[in-house]
Amino acid sequence: MSIANQINDKQVTVHTLENMALKGEKISMITAYDYSMAKLVDSANIDVILVGDSAANVMAGYQTTLPITLNEMIYHAASVVRGTKRALVVVDMPFGTYQGNSKEALNSAVRIMKETAANAVKLEGGQEILESISRILSAGIPVMGHLGLTPQSINKFGTYAVRATTTSEADKIIADAHALEDAGCFALVLEKIPASLAQKVAQELTIPVIGIGAGGYVDGQVLVLHDMLGITQEFSPRFLRRYLSLGDEIKSAVQQYVSDVKTSDFPNEKEQY
């Protein structure tokens, strides 16, 4: 068994999250897509690392999350697992790998678990994908649900605006959330919905509810790493708190390097053999 496959005493498991939610201890979750960033966020004591299909946007430069493939997600996830000692690693199942039929969904999830040694998968959607979720769960693979703004359905909705502002949409989210909990999902992500609705869902469910743009009355929060670090500068929704302006810092560091090379300031006597 490789080191990446061992679960050590300090590692966060789905049961750790369950207990945290029961005790009212907030769950911190963040995305990562590569070894170096995973190592950094893991050493900062993050509880959950999500290998999000937002990799399609922030790593590959696509406009939507739809183009990223299962092989590409496996590459990102395996890199993240190699950099992680403590956090629970959850991997997004990419568009088109679970909606068609439950057998394909199981095969995709099994590939993710076998080839990355991650701890769980995340799927977008509610009652319409329950068969796939049940089949994945029956193989002993923990599943995190994702409702509200589900970016893989962008072509259906046509906008990334806040979801569930009508009573019928809100009722569907509540019904879907219960269906996901009843099916056996260990946690649920709610993206970009009114805080009052997220609060209601979190109160009605026993599994941890983790929000992004869903207010503070939930069991935890998730942000996209590149957004909160200020690497992606053009994206500033109201819910995003930027903790750094890393994009500006990287740019000015590289500008300095360019200048040092051009002026022969770099390398100096001490930086050579």
Q: Which of 201, 224, 229, 231 binds ligand KIV (CB under 6 A)?
A: 224
Comparing CB distances to ligand KIV, the nearer of 21 and 214 is 214
- Identify the helix (H) or strand (E) that includes residue 176: helix 167-183
Neighbour-count burial of 261, counting CB atoms closer than 10 A to its CB (0-12 exposed, 13-18 middle, 19+ buried): exposed
- Name the one range near ligand KIV by CB under 6 A: 45-53, 75-83, 128-136, 230-238: 45-53
Q: Check residue 212 for interaction with ligand KIV (CB under 6 A).
A: yes
Q: Check residue 52 for interaction with ligand KIV (CB under 6 A).
A: yes
Q: Check residue 225 for interaction with ligand KIV (CB under 6 A).
A: no
Residue 79 carries which side chain, given as an amino acid letter? S
Bridge partners (DSSP) listed for residue 120: 90
Between the CA of residue 210 and those of 47, 150, 195, 223, what are the distances in Å? Answer: 12, 14, 12, 10
Comparing CB distances to ligand KIV, the nearer of 161 and 258 is 161
Q: Check residue 42 for interaction with ligand KIV (CB under 6 A).
A: no
Q: The tokens 């002993």 sit on which residue?
A: 140
Q: Check residue 31 for interaction with ligand KIV (CB under 6 A).
A: yes
Q: Is 88 helix (H, G, I), strand (E, B) or coil?
A: strand
Between the CA of residue 271 and those of 259, 261, 265, 266, what are the distances in Å? Answer: 17, 13, 11, 8
Q: Is 129 helix (H, G, I), strand (E, B) or coil?
A: helix
| Selected catalytic residue, list 181, 191, 204, 234 | 191
Instruction: Report the alpha-carbon angle 194-196-198, nearest 5.
Output: 70
Report the nearest approach of ligand KIV to the CB of residue 103 (Å).
24
| Closest CA relative to residue 17, chosen from 167, 233, 189, 180 | 189
- Name the one range near ligand KIV by CB under 6 A: 46-54, 174-182, 230-238, 252-260: 46-54
- Name the one range near ligand KIV by CB under 6 A: 3-11, 49-57, 112-120, 179-187: 49-57
Q: Check residue 73 for interaction with ligand KIV (CB under 6 A).
A: no
Q: Check residue 222 for interaction with ligand KIV (CB under 6 A).
A: yes
Q: Is there a catalytic annotation at residue 191?
A: yes
Q: Check residue 54 for interaction with ligand KIV (CB under 6 A).
A: yes
Q: Catalytic positions, please?
A: 191
By the criterion CB under 6 A, which residues form the site for ligand KIV? 31, 50, 52-54, 92, 189, 191, 212, 222, 224
